[in-house]
Structure formats: structure tokens, C-alpha cells
Structure 1
């Protein structure tokens, strides 16, 4: 059930579940058809029964009526006809499911082809726009260097950065509003990232040679064929100076939080709120909720991006981690969250290997990407086999291979550009519910007065707005089958008793973890 401004996809009420039901229905209809055909044959054999033949000699009229009745039940207008009808229906149901999947796949491939071509054209065009700005620097450096290198290519890249830095003061607000009003522009631009990278190399051949060289050294395919491969090539182009955290390790420090006055989360709005009962703000917060059977339900809140510097520094919630996550590589932030949860569980004696306490991972923006990446990470799942739920807001996770056994709830705003950064929509499947909210004309009065309110793209990314969307989800849960099924599965995290201690001596556990990226021995 979709209310104005809210679109709910996937989950128990999603198309994938309906197609799965059709897959089950088709063979079931065939089985019933076969049973009816067998029954029709059995009735037909009765007509040849010697006793019935003998009865015809004594009472031919009544026997004839009986035979006619048997034929009516077993024949074309009875069991046999119904059996044939069900066989045709089974074939139609199976064909409908296959045709829908084929049509969806064909449409998706067509859109991907258009996106890739658009990216290619844009990539070729960009150097023509930027080169006049940096021509002198590039030609001067090229005169003394005969092969591509980060030093002289830096003049070109630097000119691009210079143009980008001017956008906020000149065209930034206008671009922000245009993207908010037409979010599909960015979605399709990002979806063609592989075409864009190839186009940049074609438009400026020295850059193409450099990208090919860096990709070869990193064991990557060039030209890239997918969006993830394109991101990996860009990451490798950093040459160890930017967007690369190799040579670093992670340091995690625990800061226990008082639970005096603490209250357990009661709904999605509590799970996604910036100041909710399980939010750690700029830290990783691990919350252990005692259950009635002696177990703990663990809620892990992962922070979002805190700095956009492309150079890896001590704060790991940065652009380097963003880039690596989009390339589907393991980050030090993932290592830190894994260690933080292990430490918090050990404080309750629930940290032994194989103890499958339920775990929910959540986060906004980069925090959501990290949460989804951890759910897809076999190392994390081996250490925490009870992982069952992921909740994200404003996070591009459609391409993350989250296993079928993990229930995902994704909140996205139509005007928010961040969820579109991976260039793909979230899958429609039984265990993945996506709530998309169109913010135009759908804001409460107090939020409309915010200086960064929609329809700007950056305003739509506001965590406060996502908290209000979480509240709408809580209101819709009782009437939407997908949200209702998700809520029933999340009971361990949202239905904890308030007044009674579930187990002797059990208390909630809340620990904030400070995470730093450091050099070994530094």
C-alpha cells in the first residue's frame, strides 16, 4: 500500500515475491490437473465395469442415465475439461512470470546501454572544456616528460579541481536545486561511470594511457565494463597518494556510555534518528539489548562521512573509504566496526565464537554503505553469525551483494542524490524493502522552514528529514504487508521489555567507539 509521497518496493508485497508465487503456482496447477485427469480416467473405467454392463440388461434406461451422468462428470465438461483448463492456466502463469523477467532484464540492459553511451560522450567532451584552462601547464610539463605520470597529469587534474571549487560560489546552489528537482540526471550519469572513464581516456589520450597503466599494475580490467570496475580504476589512479589506505591500520578505543535513563528503540524512527537511543553520532555505537531468554540483541550504528579529503588521514570516515566501499573493497572502517561489536559482546560474555545473538547494522550515508558491505562480508558474518538486519538511510547500496538471509530496510528520498551514486536501484526481493519518499509538497511545516529544505539535493540528504521518514514508516507498518513482515522480523530489536529485567543481572550495554586510521608504529 503506497501513500502520497511514499513508494514501498520489495519485501513481502514486492513484485519478486509475486513472481516467486507464480513459480510455485504453475507446478501446483499442473499437479492438480494431473490428479483430475486420473480421476476422469477412473470414472471412465467404471463404464466398462462388468457389473454395470450386466445391470444394463435388467434396467437399460436407468443404466443409460447413470452412464450419461458419469460421462458428464468425467468428460470435456467435467473433470477432463477442468484438467485441460488448469494445464493451460499453468502454462500461462509460467509464461507470464518468464516474460516479465525477460522484459525487465531487456529494459534494464537497454537503459544501461544508454547510460554507458551518455557517459562515454560526456567523458570525451569534458577534456575539451577543461583543456583550455590547463593547456599551458599540461604542454609545459609534457615538453619535459615523454610518458604519463601523476606529476604532469596533476596539472590537468588540478585545473579540474579548480573549476569544481568555483561551482559552489557561482553555480553550486543552482546545480543543487536542479539536481533536487531532476534527480534522474545524476542517477543516469553515475550509472554510466564506466563509459565516463573510457571517454575521459579517449578525450585526453595521456590520461587514458595513465589509467590503463595504473589499472594493469593493480590487476584491473581496462577499459572497465561495469560501474564498480570504473570506480576501482579511479581508485588505482590515485597511485597510493589519494584514495588509498594501504600501509595504514586502524585503532579502536572504547568509551562506555551510561545507561541511566536509557530507553530501548521502539521503531524505525528511533533506529535512524541522529539523537536516538542507539545513535553514536560521530562514533560507532554498539548497543546491547537484553532479551528474555538471556541473549542480547545488538544494534550497531555506523557514522557517515565526516571529511571529504581524498587523502587518507586519521579520520577514516572520509572520501577514501567512500571510494573503496563503492569499489566493493574491504575498508579499515569495516575492520573497526567488526572489532567494536566483538569488544562490546565480550563485555557481556556473549562474544564466544558461534554465539548467534541477533545483530542489526544501521547507518546514514557512508554508514549505510558500510553496514551493507559488512552484511556482504564473509569475515564479519563468520564472527557474528547472528547478523539478521540492515537499516540504511540515504545510502547507495543497490549493488552490494547482501545475502538473501539478511533483511534489509532502505530509506531513500527521491531528491537525495547520494542513494543514486552507485548507479543502480535496490533489488526487489522478499528480504529487501525500499521506501522511497518524494519530498516535494510532503514536508511538515517546521521542516519547510529549514534553510536546506528540499527540493535541493543536499537538503534532501538531511538526517533529520530521514528521521521524519522513519516516523512515516512506523505509521504505515500496520497497513503495508512488506513493512509489517519486516517489523515482525525485527522484534528482537524493537520489542524489548522496559520495566522488567529479562535475565538475572542483565543490563543494557552501550559503548561508543572512537576510530582512527594510523600508520603502523605511529
Structure 2
């Protein structure tokens, strides 16, 4: 079977990292300009030094030649003063270029949000016109597509799930337009996806966190020391597949102990298991309500329960913590990392790994290293209607693996575990940098590292 292609963005080799390189080069140019300016000031002082002036009495011609040569070296067209000015100007230019590039990238994302919002608002205020326009656009689009690709377009009618997973950008547009649609229909000021989700979260009572200790898991999938991305995803896949029935919100905290006694902690967080309706309290915290709350940027009872689980496993506020989650699990992980910045999650989250999670709107601090795996045919990462940011601390790996159904494309077993295994072979600089930064959690089998897996059942109380 051919391995799926991978596109890697962000991280140490990403565009934003290059912007930082420009800023660093600007600082170096400033420093050099300052050093050269100091040299010119000091050397100009030599021209009027008492010893030089005294020498003019004995050798006026020699002193005149010396001063002429020194002035040329300092103030000539290619002198030190001019060079200092050029380095100073270069620093200004580099800063301006970096700021312009960053502003353009930020404006592009905001513009997409505004266009989608406006489309939704128009549909809400003029539903009849919007429906007519949508019907016309759909007819033209499908008609033209049928001429170019009759087999592919026919599948949109015979197999709509395959069609949608082949074109997941449709979901971005629908989700991105929904805040404007709500505003147009109700008059409520719903500015973006996060604001809309936060308002919708009022229909899902979140309650208070509860944690039940379920003992230790001594199976190999839980206790093998992870050596790479595939091992990390294998343990998450194992926990995700066990989180059903009475254990539907089961997580584990893996205590990784190195031969020197230092400890780090890996938390495996499965995805949504309960698709409940709004308006009624639900004791299961891995439900649709948590999805809505996290998309709205809220600190949930599930996140608080994970913090309690870390405490029970012995984690301190300084021990390195990696949060790894699938779907909603990745969303909660990213929000917990964001909450380290405001004191709501008092642990040293250094790494976050997500699989099929819509986390682009999470405000993850720059000191947290993020690795996001996204199947380009998985619909779930599109539920926040935004691409992940390109930041030095945030690497996104997109792979092209169409399995035909939304469920299989989103599965840890059939989609994300094979991709993580493949990623272990990557030499991309962003992937290598992330792997190197995760040394507290990764080790070779013969290193003597041990892993203890504490299992917890999370729920909430009204």
C-alpha cells in the first residue's frame, strides 16, 4: 500500500520562524550599526587628540596625511560611518518586511472569517434570496463539474459522505458562515465561531469535575516507553478504543521515569463518546457539550478533572507534561495548554500532540510545542473553520488518506496511527525539532526508562 503524502507547515522550519529570523537579523544589524557608530565616535576623537596635535609641529605634512586618511576611512563614501548607517537602515527594512508579512498573513485569516460571516448574515436576513442563490450556484457548479468529471459528480448524489470527505472545505464555509447566519436570524451579536460556540455552551451545563481512580494498566500498550510518534499514537489509540460503555471517559496518566530518577507525565485523552442533546445535564464529560464549550474557549470540567488526575499521579507544577488527544481530547489538551498562561491549569505543559482536532483558535502560549496531525479527508479538524497558525512552536502535519467514510478518516486506528508511524521516518526540520524537544518523554527501549500508567474515569456532577 502506498503511503499517504504529507504536507508539513509551521514549526522550526515554518514561515513564522523565518519571520523571526528576519527580526533576529534586524537586531544583529542594529547591534553592528551601534558598534560601528561607537568606533567612529572614538576615532573622530583621535583627530583632536593632544599627541596628534603636538606631532603636527614636528611633521605637519605627515599629520595632515594621517588625518586625511583617517577621515576618508571614517566619513568617506565607503567609510565606517556610512557602513553604520547602512546597517541601521537594513535593520529598519528587515523589521518593516517582517511586520508586513505577518500583518498580511493575519489579515488574510481575518478576511476569510469576515467573508464567511457576511455570507451567513445575508442568508439570515434574506433567506429566500439566499436559498435561490444557493440553488443556482449549486446547479451551475454540479453541472460544470459533471461535464468535467461525470463519475466524481455522480458520487456526490450516490455517496454524499465520500463527496464531502473529498471536499471538506465545504464544512469550513458552513461553520464559518454560521455566526453570521445566527446574527442575521436573531439580531444577536455573534462575531465569530468562538463567540457562537461560547453562547451555545449556555445550553450545556458543565457541572463540577469528578475523578474516579481505576487502578493501573500494566499492558504493553500503556507501559512501553515511547520512542517516537508512532508509539505515542499507539498508546492513545489503545486508550481511545477502551473508552466505551462504563469506561467511556477513561483517560490515563503515564508517569515516565528516566534512569536518573527525573519524571515526566503523558496524558492520553480520547475523543467524544456521547453525542447528547442540549438543555439537559449530562454526567459524562466527554460529550457534545464539552466540544461546544472548548470551541468557545471555555475551561471545562473535563480539563479540571484531568488536572486532578495529574495531581493524583504525583505531578508537580514543574514536571514536564505532554497532553496527547484525539478529536475532542486534542481540543481539551490545547485549551489546557492555553490555560497555563492564565493560571487555570497549573501544570508545566511543554508539549501537545493532537490527532484530528479543531484547535486552530486555541490561544496556545509560545513556550508550548504543538504537533497537530490532520487527515485532509477528516471532517472534524474543519469544525473551527480555520487553518492552524504557522508558528515556530506549532507544527501541522497534513496527510492525504481517503478511506471512504467520515468515521474511518477520523479513526485513530485506521487513519492517525499509520500516519504517526510514517512520521517517525520524516527528516523535515520542523518534525525533527519537535522530536528533539520531546526528550523528556521519548527514549530508546534499552535506555532503562520505565512507565507507570494510572487510569482514571472522568465525569461531572450537577
* Shared fold per TM-score greater than 0.5: yes
Question: 1:38: which partner in 2?
Answer: 38
Partner-residue secondary structure (3-state), 1:38:
helix
Alpha carbons of structure 1 residues 275 and 34: separation in structure 2 relative to 1, 3 Å:
closer
**1:255 deviation in Å?**
3.5
Partner-residue secondary structure (3-state), 2:198:
helix
Report whether the alignment pairs 1:7 with 2:7.
Answer: yes
Q: What residue ranges of structure 2 are gaps of 5+ in the alignment?
A: 132-154, 244-249
The aligned runs of 1:8-87 (5 Å cut-off) are: 8-48=8-48, 66-74=66-74, 75-87=76-88
The aligned runs of 1:303-318 (5 Å cut-off) are: 303-310=270-277, 313-318=282-287
Alpha carbons of structure 1 residues 462 and 90: separation in structure 2 relative to 1, 3 Å:
same
**1:460 deviation in Å?**
2.9
The aligned runs of 1:101-180 (5 Å cut-off) are: 101-124=102-125, 174-180=159-165
Alpha carbons of structure 1 residues 294 and 195: separation in structure 2 relative to 1, 3 Å:
same
Report whether the alignment pairs 1:227 with 2:193.
Answer: yes
CA–CA distance in 2 between the matches of 1:276 and 1:421?
A: 22
Partner-residue secondary structure (3-state), 1:192:
helix
Question: 2:376: which partner in 1?
Answer: 414
Question: 1:460: which partner in 2?
Answer: 409
Question: 1:341: which partner in 2?
Answer: 310
Partner-residue secondary structure (3-state), 2:359:
coil
Report whether the alignment pairs 1:185 with 2:151.
Answer: no
Output the TM-score relative to the length of structure 2: 0.80
| Residues 74-123 of structure 1: CA deviation (Å, up to 9, x unaligned) | 22222122122212211211111122222223323322221111122344
**1:365 deviation in Å?**
0.5
Question: 2:140: which partner in 1?
Answer: none
CA–CA distance in 2 between the matches of 1:471 and 1:413?
A: 14
Which stretch has the larger CA shift, 88-97 or 460-469? Answer: 460-469
CA–CA distance in 2 between the matches of 1:114 and 1:228?
A: 16
CA–CA distance in 2 between the matches of 1:109 and 1:457?
A: 28
Alpha carbons of structure 1 residues 286 and 498: separation in structure 2 relative to 1, 3 Å:
farther
Alpha carbons of structure 1 residues 383 and 97: separation in structure 2 relative to 1, 3 Å:
closer
**1:171 deviation in Å?**
7.0
CA–CA distance in 1 between the matches of 2:380 and 2:308?
A: 27
Question: 1:513: which partner in 2?
Answer: 456
CA–CA distance in 1 between the matches of 2:419 and 2:124?
A: 36
Report whether the alignment pairs 1:432 with 2:432.
Answer: no
CA–CA distance in 2 between the matches of 1:27 and 1:393?
A: 37
Tell me, yes or no, if the aligned pair for 1:264 and 1:498 is still in contact at 8 Å.
Answer: no
| Residues 401-458 of structure 1: CA deviation (Å, up to 9, x unaligned) | 2223322111112222211211222232222222222x1xxx5xxxxxxxx715x655
Counterpart of 1:301 (choices 268, 274, 283) is 268
Alpha carbons of structure 1 residues 375 and 415: separation in structure 2 relative to 1, 3 Å:
same
Output the TM-score relative to the length of structure 1: 0.72
Question: 2:259: which partner in 1?
Answer: 292
CA–CA distance in 2 between the matches of 1:303 and 1:468?
A: 17
**1:48 deviation in Å?**
4.8
Question: 2:332: which partner in 1?
Answer: 370
Counterpart of 1:471 (choices 398, 401, 421) is 421
Report whether the alignment pairs 1:482 with 2:413.
Answer: no
Question: 1:403: which partner in 2?
Answer: 365
CA–CA distance in 2 between the matches of 1:460 and 1:188?
A: 20
Partner-residue secondary structure (3-state), 1:513:
strand
CA–CA distance in 1 between the matches of 2:128 and 2:176?
A: 20
CA–CA distance in 2 between the matches of 1:64 and 1:250?
A: 88
Tell me, yes or no, if the aligned pair for 2:19 and 2:98 is still in contact at 8 Å.
Answer: yes
CA–CA distance in 1 between the matches of 2:357 and 2:376?
A: 12
Counterpart of 1:323 (choices 292, 315, 318) is 292
**1:474 deviation in Å?**
1.6
CA–CA distance in 1 between the matches of 2:443 and 2:97?
A: 41
CA–CA distance in 2 between the matches of 1:404 and 1:80?
A: 39
CA–CA distance in 1 between the matches of 2:241 and 2:318?
A: 24
Report whether the alignment pairs 1:423 with 2:424.
Answer: no
CA–CA distance in 1 between the matches of 2:387 and 2:299?
A: 22
Q: What residue ranges of structure 1 are gaps of 5+ in the alignment?
A: 131-169, 202-207, 213-221, 444-451
Tell me, yes or no, if the aligned pair for 1:11 and 1:433 is still in contact at 8 Å.
Answer: yes
**1:368 deviation in Å?**
0.7
Partner-residue secondary structure (3-state), 1:493:
coil
| Residues 23-59 of structure 1: CA deviation (Å, up to 9, x unaligned) | 3332432332232233234444544556556666766
**1:358 deviation in Å?**
1.9
CA–CA distance in 1 between the matches of 2:341 and 2:73?
A: 62
